[in-house]
C-alpha cells in the first residue's frame, strides 16, 4: 500500500490540530462552521480517507457485521443479504459475507472474526456447528451479538428472526388437503438442521387436522438438494398406496422431484401435486411453476439488523424490540397443485 495522507496531513494543511480534524469529520456540531469548511477543503484537496484499522483499534469496534450463510450459491439467501446490507449500511455498519460451506472448520474461522475484532456481531443463516455461545456478551447490554435468521439453533435465548416454519408447513400441507388429496407424502430436510423438525411437524399436524394417516415410507429423506429431490421422486413411484401429492421441505427438492417424475412420464400437477418451501426465484420460472411458501426475506434481513443494533447498544436502536421476531409467511399458489387424479 502506498503512503496515504493521514489526519495529520489534513491538520497541517487546514492549520488546526488533529483532534479538530477528527471532530470536524465525526462530530459536526462541535466545531465552528469556519474550521469545518477549512477541514473539508483540506480533506478534498489531498484526498484524505480514514484509516479503518486505526479507527477500529482506537475505538475498539469494527463497525462491521458478519453474515454466515451455508451456501452462497443458494438463491434463498440473496435477498436476505440485500435486506441486511441495506439496513446495515443505513446504520453505518459494514457487512462481511461469509460462506461456511456447511463446514465446521470454515465456520470456526468466521467465529474467530468476532474474537479478533474483525466484526462486532454475526448473523447466522446456517445451523451452528461451532460454539457461537462462546462469543463474549456486549458489556452495555449483556447480550451476545449473534442473531439467528430463519434457523433455530436451540430453544434457549439466542435472538432470532424467522417465520413459523411449523405453521407454514401446516398451511402448505393443508392446501393439498383442501384440493382433495388424501395420500400426501413429505420429503424431509436433512438432519442437523433446525428446519427439518418444524417443517415435518407442520406436515404431520396438517394430516392430523384432516384425520389422515402417514403411510409407511411416505416420509422420504432429503437433504435440500435437487438431486435428493430426484431420488425422492424415484422412490415415491414405488410406494403403495402411491401418493397423489407431496410436500417438499424446500423448492430445490421439489424441482428435482418434479424432474424425476417427468422423466418417468408422471405429470405435475395432473398425476401428482407438489408444494415446495422458500419461494426461490426459480420456483416461479419452473415448468410447472411451483406452489410454495414465501418468506419475507428482505424484511428478515432488516429486522435482524434492528435486533443486532439493539444488542450492540448502538444509537437509534429500538429498545422495545423483542429478541424473538416471528414474521409472516405466505402461501404462493402457482401451477404445481391440482386435484388428485380420479
Partner DNA sequence: TTGTATGCGTTATCAG
Partner DNA sequence: CTGATAACGCATACAA
The site for DNA (CB under 7 A) is made up of: 3-4, 6-8, 15-23, 25-26, 29-32, 34-35, 48-51, 54-55, 57-60
Helix H segments across 76-217? 76-90, 104-115, 165-178, 196-209
What is the pairing mode between strands 330-332 and 292-294?
antiparallel
- Does residue 131 sit in helix, strand or coil? coil
Q: Are 163 and 169 in contact (CB under 8 A)?
A: no
Helix H segments across the chain? 7-14, 18-26, 33-46, 52-59, 76-90, 104-115, 165-178, 196-209, 226-237, 251-263, 281-285, 297-312
Binder of residue 81, out of a copy of itself, DNA, none (CB less than 5 to 8 A by kind) = a copy of itself
> Does residue number 45 form part of the binding site for a copy of itself (CB under 8 A)?
no
Q: For residues 310 and 324, give the distance between their C-alpha atoms in angstroms, rounded to a whole number.
A: 13
Name which of 1 and 342 has its Cβ closer to DNA: 1
> Residue 152 corresponds to which cell in the numbers above?
433455530
Closest CA to 219 of 241, 186, 248: 186
The binding track of 264-303 with respect to a copy of itself, each residue x by CB under 8 A or -, is -----------------xx--xxx----------------
The binding track of 174-213 with respect to a copy of itself, each residue x by CB under 8 A or -, is ----------------------------------------
Name which of 79 and 151 has its Cβ closer to a copy of itself: 79
> Does residue number 79 form part of the binding site for a copy of itself (CB under 8 A)?
yes
Question: Given the rule CB under 8 A, which of 130-138, 173-181, 196-204, 323-331 is the region that contacts a copy of itself?
Answer: 130-138
Q: Is the peptide bond before 40 cis (omega within 30 degrees of 0)?
A: no
> Residue 212 corresponds to which cell in the numbers above?
389422515
Residue 287 CB, nearest distance to a copy of itself (Å)?
Answer: 5
Pick from 15, 92, 137, 339 the residue near a copy of itself by CB under 8 A.
137
Q: For residues 265 and 226, give the distance between their C-alpha atoms in angstroms, rounded to a whole number.
A: 18
Residues that bind a copy of itself (CB under 8 A): 1-2, 4, 49-54, 56-57, 60-62, 71-75, 77-79, 81-82, 85, 89, 94, 96-99, 101, 109, 112, 115-118, 120, 136-139, 226, 255-256, 258-259, 262, 281-282, 285-287
Amino acid at each position: 500500500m502506498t503512503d496515504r495522507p493521514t489526519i495529520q496531513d489534513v491538520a497541517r494543511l487546514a492549520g488546526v490540530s488533529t483532534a479538530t480534524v477528527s471532530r470536524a469529520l465525526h462530530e459536526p456540531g462541535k466545531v465552528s462552521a469556519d474550521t469545518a469548511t477549512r477541514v473539508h477543503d483540506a480533506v478534498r484537496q489531498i484526498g484524505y480517507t480514514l484509516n479503518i484499522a486505526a479507527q477500529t483499534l482506537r475505538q475498539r469496534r469494527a463497525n462491521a457485521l458478519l453474515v454466515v450463510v451455508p451456501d452462497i450459491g443458494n438463491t434463498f439467501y440473496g435477498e436476505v443479504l440485500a435486506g441486511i446490507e441495506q439496513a446495515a449500511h443505513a446504520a453505518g455498519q459494514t457487512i462481511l459475507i461469509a460462506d461456511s460451506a456447511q463446514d465446521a472448520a470454515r465456520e470456526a474461522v468466521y467465529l474467530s472474526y468476532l474474537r479478533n475484532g474483525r466484526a462486532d456481531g454475526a448473523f447466522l443463516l446456517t445451523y451452528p456447528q461451532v460454539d457461537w455461545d462462546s462469543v463474549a456478551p456486549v458489556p452495555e447490554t449483556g447480550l451476545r451479538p449473534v442473531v439467528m435468521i430463519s434457523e433455530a439453533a436451540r430453544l434457549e435465548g439466542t435472538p432470532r428472526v424467522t417465520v413459523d416454519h411449523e405453521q407454514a408447513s401446516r398451511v402448505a400441507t393443508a392446501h393439498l388437503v383442501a384440493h382433495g388429496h388424501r395420500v400426501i407424502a413429505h420429503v424431509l430436510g436433512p438432519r442437523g438442521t433446525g428446519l427439518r423438525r418444524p417443517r415435518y411437524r407442520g406436515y404431520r399436524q396438517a394430516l392430523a387436522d384432516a384425520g389422515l394417516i402417514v403411510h409407511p415410507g411416505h416420509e422420504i429423506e432429503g437433504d435440500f438438494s435437487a438431486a435428493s429431490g430426484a431420488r425422492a421422486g424415484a422412490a415415491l413411484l414405488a410406494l403403495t398406496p402411491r401418493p397423489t401429492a407431496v410436500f417438499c421441505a424446500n423448492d430445490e427438492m421439489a424441482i428435482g422431484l418434479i424432474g424425476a417424475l417427468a422423466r418417468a412420464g408422471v405429470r405435475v400437477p395432473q398425476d401428482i401435486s407438489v408444494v415446495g418451501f422458500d419461494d426461490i426465484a426459480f420456483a416461479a420460472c419452473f415448468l410447472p411453476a411451483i406452489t410454495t411458501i414465501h418468506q419475507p426475506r428482505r424484511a428478515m434481513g432488516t429486522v435482524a439488523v434492528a435486533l443486532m443494533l439493539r444488542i450492540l447498544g448502538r444509537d437509534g436502536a429500538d429498545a422495545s424490540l423483542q429478541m424473538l421476531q416471528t414474521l409472516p409467511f405466505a402461501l404462493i399458489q402457482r401451477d404445481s397443485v391440482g386435484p388428485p387424479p380420479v
